[in-house]
Amino acid sequence: MRIRPPRKQHTLDMVQGPLLTSILFYSLPLMLSGLLQLAFNAADTIVVGRFSGNEALAAVGSVGSLNSMIVSLFMGISVGVNVMVAQSVGGGKFKEVQDTVSTSICISVIGGSILAVIGFFLARPMLALMGSPDDVISLATLYMKIIFIGMPLQMLYNFCAAILRAVGDTQRPLYFLTIAGVVNVILNLFFVIIFHMSVAGVALATIISQGISAALALKSLMVADPPIRVNLKKLRIKLGILLRIVHIGLPAGVQSMLFSISNVLIQSSVNSFGSVVIAGNSAASNLGGFVYQAMNTFQQAVTSFTGQNTGARKPDRVLNSVKVSLFWSTVFGLILGPACYLAANPLLSLFSPDPAVIAVGANRLKIVVVPYFLCGIMDVMTGSLRGIGYSLLPMIISLLGVCAFRVFWILVIFPLAPSMDSLLVSYPISWTMTAIVLIILFAIFFRKVRDKMLSSL
């Protein structure tokens, strides 16, 4: 049964129309959503840095890479949901879309509950393995435990958002995050300044705001047009659909987890320099996240566009989607990366007035954020391969080109010159090598996909 064109204005036709503007219009709300989410997360670090001191700032910052490592596996599976829904919509497979939506909602809650247990009970042992300093580890443990209590809500929102993005709806997630983010900032100030709850206050504010965004996203699917409408009474896990989602999404999740593991190793090395360096590195990471998010939206866009056009058997639009996404990602990276570094002092002073913290942060911006466009190119090529159905391949390349390389760097190169500069330079080097390999491999595998699509017409 073929799906009728969506009636609601929230959806976007990805298989027709000019790609240059379509991909930009698709990505801008997604970009704003991500930037708002980062801004509200940055509010956590700004509030604790300003009102609770460098130790609290370091505690919140030191948890980020470990948090990402734990949740990345299930977040990667949400990529499988996005690809499955996009390809099924493009191919007009009504029942398959319904089964994918139902299955994904179930596994988001189950997966989030599993993560909540893991993060809560293993928080302190994992932070200790990372070498968290004595003046940071207790606060970091408390923050991490509270954050993971809300993990089912975070997973539910992200899977619902993946479904909406797959049909071209990037506007409503922006509205949901705006509402939740405003609540987050207000509660941050309320809990930390008035009740002096420090890291516990910002963590509690975070999970309350996540509950709001999850409820709004789920409600939007409950009243959406078929085939993505959710009926809570009919939610079931379809084993065949689950296996296909895992087949596509698991490599993406493993890739993200491996990225996070390498970042945890780097964070462990950063921890050896003390709380001031941890705080400065954390502040710069927050700023760099804005540049990364702006570029990463085009990875998400190219996954959806190539997925739908693969399902619709339109190879020319698949290839042009990749070219346009590369163009926009590079433009945003080349503009925002250097701009962030040029404004380093006033931006970093938002997190901490300490000159030593600002100096550490500015150095990270120079080495990592200015060449961030290279990471954008790498991510777009990863999303392109996933969109045409090759999810295992970018995982393997990333394992070798990014993760294994960074582990080698930390174990072999870094001890020869143990400084922050020698640690951070591993980032742009790994992006460059991986991007080159991914471009070559996409060119090879796209020919196979194109020939298969043309032969089936």
Per-residue pLDDT, 7: 45
Per-residue pLDDT, 141: 92
> For residue 291, how many C-alpha atoms fall within 13 Å in the half-sphere facing its CB?
27
- Under a CB-based contact definition with an 8 Å cutoff, are residues 216 and 180 in contact? yes
pLDDT digits (tens, 9 = 90+) for 292-346: 989 999 998 999 899 889 888 899 999 999 999 999 999 999 999 999 999 999 9
- For the chain, domain boundaries: 19-449
pLDDT digits (tens, 9 = 90+) for 128-173: 887 777 878 898 899 999 999 999 999 999 899 989 988 888 888 8
Per-residue pLDDT, 267: 77
pLDDT digits (tens, 9 = 90+) for 198-254: 889 989 999 999 999 999 999 999 999 888 999 998 899 999 999 999 888 888 787
CA distance 239 to 399: 28
Per-residue pLDDT, 344: 93
- pTM (predicted TM-score): 0.73
User: Directed axis angle between helix 54-90 and helix 239-271, to 10°?
Assistant: 150
Pick from 390, 376, 378, 249: nearest CA to 306 = 390
Compute how many other C-beta atoms are within 10 angstroms of the C-beta atom of residue 439.
16
Q: CA angle, 211 as apex, 209 and 217 as ends, to 5°?
A: 105
